Structures are given as structure tokens and as C-alpha cells.
């Protein structure tokens, strides 16, 4: 058995179980799959977004230095303060 997340042309998402991939393809081609919410027969497989861990671009917690110059750190900027 295989479960697919499907969506109809009206944007309803629902899950449907099939015996196999070809079972889904046969039923989809024959129009035997209908949206349980609205009965729409135009359904398509939703693309399941894989859980990618993009830890490389995690945002920093501390505030950005205003100028990035020397002595500008921890949110204290001597240039911005007119020093």
C-alpha cells in the first residue's frame, strides 16, 4: 500500500491509499479519484516537500552591527553614535 497526498482543482488537500503506483495512475487516468470535500474529479498528486535541514543559513540571533566597522559589535556602533 502507498499513500499519496492529492489535491483537487479547488485546492483541497486529502490523502488516498493505493495498492501501488500503477494503481494510482490507473484510477487517476480513469477519473475514479474524487475530492472528498467537493467531489472534484480533477485531482493531482501534491509534491511532498522533503524535510531538508538547511542549517547552513540559520539566521543569527544577535542584532546586525550597524556599520560593521572596527569596534562595531554587540549592537554598539561608535560610528553610528557620532563618536
Interaction site with Zn ion (CB under 5 A): 8, 10, 12, 35, 37-38, 40
Residues 6+ apart with CB under 8 A from 29: none
Minimum gap (Å) between residue 1 Cβ and Zn ion: 23
Q: Provide the minimum distance between the beta carbon of 36 and Zn ion in the complex, in angstroms, as a whole number.
A: 8
Of residues 17 and 73, the one with the C-beta less far from Zn ion: 17
- Smallest gap from Cβ 24 to Zn ion, in A, equals 17
The Cα 5–Cα 71 span in angstroms is 53
Which CB atom, from 8 or from 24, has the smaller least distance to Zn ion? 8
- Of the two residues 8 and 33, which places its CB atom closer to Zn ion in the complex? 8
Give the whole-angstrom CA distance, residue 63 versus residue 72: 11
Q: Which residues on adjacent β-strands are paired with residue 13?
A: 7
- How many residues does the structure list for the chain? 83
Amino acid at each position: 500500500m502507498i499513500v499519496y497526498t492529492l489535491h483537487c482543482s479547488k485546492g483541497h488537500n486529502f490523502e488516498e491509499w493505493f495498492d501501488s503506483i500503477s494503481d494510482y495512475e490507473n484510477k487517476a487516468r480513469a477519473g475514479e479519484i474524487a475530492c472528498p470535500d467537493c467531489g472534484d474529479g480533477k485531482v493531482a498528486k501534491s509534491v511532498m516537500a522533503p524535510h531538508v535541514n538547511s542549517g547552513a543559513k540559520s539566521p543569527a540571533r544577535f542584532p546586525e552591527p550597524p556599520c560593521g566597522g572596527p569596534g562595531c559589535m554587540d549592537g554598539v556602533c561608535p560610528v553610528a553614535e557620532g563618536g
